[in-house]
Amino acid sequence: MMSGGPSDATHRKRRRRRGPKGSGVDGPSIPRAVTTNGAGPEEEEEVVEGKAMELDAGMSAAEVEGVVGSHLSETRFDQCPVSPLSLKAIKDAGYEKMTQVQEATLPIILQGEDVLAKAKTGTGKTVAFLLPAIELLSTLPRSPSINLLVICPTRELANQVAAEARKLLKYHRSLGVQVVIGGTKLPQEQRSMQSNPCQILVATPGRLKDHLENTPGFSNRIKGVKVLVLDEADRLLDMGFRRDIEKIIAFIPKERQTLLFSATVPEEVRQISHVAMKRGYKFINTVKEGDEETHSQVSQMYMVAPLDLHFSILYNVLKKHIAEDADYKVIVFCTTAMVTKLVAEVLSQLKLNIREIHSRKSQSARTKVSDEFRKSKGLILVSSDVSARGVDYPDVTLVIQAGLPADREQYIHRLGRTGRKGKDGLGLLLLAPWETYFLNSVQDLSVSQAVVPTIDSSIQTGVKDALGRVETKSKESAYQAWLGYYNSNKAISRDKSRLVRLAEEFSQSMGLAIPPAIPKLILRKMGLNNVPGLRSV
């Protein structure tokens, strides 16, 4: 018997009023076809708290730590109503016990309910939605329709979800999985879908929309969707992706099961979940109230220092970490693609073992680097937010976030690349003094201040020389991207002359004597034309 089933879980019905008109929650941007999808004027959701976190009064401190820190439940997969074919594949994958989110969601998903699930990073959410969906699919008659559609915000994550699906499908010979992602050739995907139509499709939103609009027969195939999954649901429902998702959902039958998963579920997402889910959906939260959304076994630090020290601090911290851990595996998150490129170039010049990944790289280069980083140790991945969510690189020892994360959620997801599957990890957030206001948004997490290391002259000289060897073009592009990123941040862009001053500080930190000129058109697009202190060409 499963111990985390609905009979053991705490159920609470909760009625919530949706936000007022124009509050951004029910705004006019939601097409009628989508808003009518099971949503009434008042949303009702059932809150189910998994019993996985309940503690026994008689436990020792070590046992308590083991339970709280552990991502695994006491339930084995072979104790669950799962087909022998799936069980065999699960065994081959080396999984024996279910993780807490898997234990809490499986029975409810198998009952056909719509589910919004929140569980910490690296705790097996992918299997939690794939396994019950595959169980359902295995009972359907064979057809060329797509029956399970999984939408992911990044290409790397889509590939990874497909890989996990292939593991689980090992013995389900009649089921197949296909991936459609941007950055690859559309006709190639069209041909492969035609020659081998699979029941499971994993996609990024833009490319999926492309297929809906341009691939003959595709919109018919998608009418067969029985289960829709939004992985990293809060990201997919935020303003960047929301319109695409709404358009896609309009093509999919309303009679379906919808599963939304993420490590972060801000209140706004709960309020707009009716965009995708039926009323009366179950909200399953395996993060106990009062518990942090991050892992206790991951030490989180922040460091505050002027921008002109950031390259040296980065170099110093990395060198120290490498000296302390021969199996180091580090991700350095940067604010934008072009800043990522610059940081990667500077650190490479400093003879560190660097790989670079961001949206300006070709998809084949991204896939190559991602595969290499997954398998390797002794490597530093300098990354934009393309690696922030979902990607499962085992044994990452340290995550550095240089500059402001986009928001609290992005901070949590980036940090979640370390400390996966109950392992230890380290996180460092490196901020300039004027960025420290961000700390308010993570004050409920255990982030402690770290002392700025003393930077000796050899490090300073090394960094200066490395910067000198980096092409001016990279610095110019980084400056422009930096300005764009901070200009889109409301707290900072309010005072344009301050923004220009800060950008100049960044330019100096790269060793440039004067800030680069920016094309007029771009300045206009950023709303920064005629701002004193910015040069244009």
Ligand X SMILES: Nc1ncnc2c1ncn2[C@@H]1O[C@H](COP(=O)(O)OP(=O)(O)OP(=O)(O)O)[C@@H](O)[C@H]1O
Q: Which residues bind ligand X (CB under 6 A)?
A: 95, 98-99, 102, 119, 121-127, 263, 390, 392, 416, 420-421
C-alpha Rg value of the chain to the nearest Å: 24
Q: Minimum distance between the CB of residue 340 and ligand X, rounded to whole angstroms?
A: 20
Q: Shortest CA distance to 298 belongs to which of 461, 454, 415?
A: 415
Q: Among residues 317 and 396, whose Cβ is nearest to ligand X?
A: 396
Q: Minimum distance between the CB of residue 322 and ligand X, rounded to whole angstroms?
A: 25
Q: Minimum distance between the CB of residue 121 and ligand X, rounded to whole angstroms?
A: 4
Report strand pairing: 177-180 vs 115-118: unpaired
Q: Minimum distance between the CB of residue 410 and ligand X, rounded to whole angstroms?
A: 12
Q: Minimum distance between the CB of residue 457 and ligand X, rounded to whole angstroms?
A: 40
In this structure, are residues 485 and 435 in contact, taking their beta carbons and an 8 Å threshold? no
* Cα distance between residue 82 and residue 78, in whole Å: 7
Q: Among residues 63 and 78, whose Cβ is nearest to ligand X?
A: 78
Q: Minimum distance between the CB of residue 164 and ligand X, rounded to whole angstroms?
A: 6
Q: Among residues 71 and 361, whose Cβ is nearest to ligand X?
A: 71
Beta strands in 328-367 (DSSP E): 329-333, 354-357
Which 8-state DSSP code applies to residue 363?
A: H
* Cα distance between residue 126 and residue 163, in whole Å: 10
Going by C-beta distance under 8 Å and a sequence separation of 6 or more, which residues neighbour residue 282? Answer: 45, 46, 47, 48, 108, 113, 114, 115, 116
Q: Minimum distance between the CB of residue 128 and ligand X, rounded to whole angstroms?
A: 7
Percent helix / strand / coil, the chain, rounded to 5: 45, 15, 40
Report strand pairing: 282-285 vs 42-49: parallel
Q: Among residues 123 and 204, whose Cβ is nearest to ligand X?
A: 123
* Cα distance between residue 476 and residue 506, in whole Å: 11
Q: Minimum distance between the CB of residue 71 and ligand X, rounded to whole angstroms?
A: 8
In this structure, are residues 402 and 343 in contact, taking their beta carbons and an 8 Å threshold? yes
Which 8-state DSSP code applies to residue 536?
A: B
Q: Among residues 121 and 178, whose Cβ is nearest to ligand X?
A: 121
Which 8-state DSSP code applies to residue 518?
A: B
Q: Among residues 207 and 420, whose Cβ is nearest to ligand X?
A: 420
Q: Minimum distance between the CB of residue 85 and ligand X, rounded to whole angstroms?
A: 17
Report strand pairing: 42-49 vs 10-17: antiparallel
Q: Minimum distance between the CB of residue 331 and ligand X, rounded to whole angstroms?
A: 12
Q: Among residues 201 and 396, whose Cβ is nearest to ligand X?
A: 396
Q: Among residues 82 and 119, whose Cβ is nearest to ligand X?
A: 119
Q: Minimum distance between the CB of residue 90 and ligand X, rounded to whole angstroms?
A: 8
Question: 327 to each of 258, 332, 374, 396, 420, how far by Cα in Å?
Answer: 40, 16, 13, 9, 16
Going by C-beta distance under 8 Å and a sequence separation of 6 or more, which residues neighbour residue 164? Answer: 126, 127, 130
Burial of 12 (0-12, 13-18, 19+ CB in 10 A): exposed
Identity (one letter) of the amino acid at 128? A
Q: Among residues 98 and 169, whose Cβ is nearest to ligand X?
A: 98
Q: Shortest CA distance to 433 belongs to which of 415, 447, 448, 452?
A: 452
Q: Among residues 6 and 422, whose Cβ is nearest to ligand X?
A: 422
Q: Minimum distance between the CB of residue 150 and ligand X, rounded to whole angstroms?
A: 12
Q: Among residues 121 and 273, whose Cβ is nearest to ligand X?
A: 121
Dihedral sign computed on CA atoms, order 244, 246, 247, 252: positive
Q: Minimum distance between the CB of residue 220 and ligand X, rounded to whole angstroms?
A: 31
Q: Shortest CA distance to 13 belongs to which of 47, 37, 58, 52?
A: 47
* Cα distance between residue 451 and residue 458, in whole Å: 20
Q: Among residues 245 and 318, whose Cβ is nearest to ligand X?
A: 245
Q: Shortest CA distance to 3 belongs to which of 92, 83, 97?
A: 97
Q: Among residues 48 and 412, whose Cβ is nearest to ligand X?
A: 412
273: its two tokens: 């979940």
Q: Minimum distance between the CB of residue 112 and ligand X, rounded to whole angstroms?
A: 22
Dihedral sign computed on CA atoms, order 470, 475, 476, 477: positive
Q: Among residues 229 and 275, whose Cβ is nearest to ligand X?
A: 229
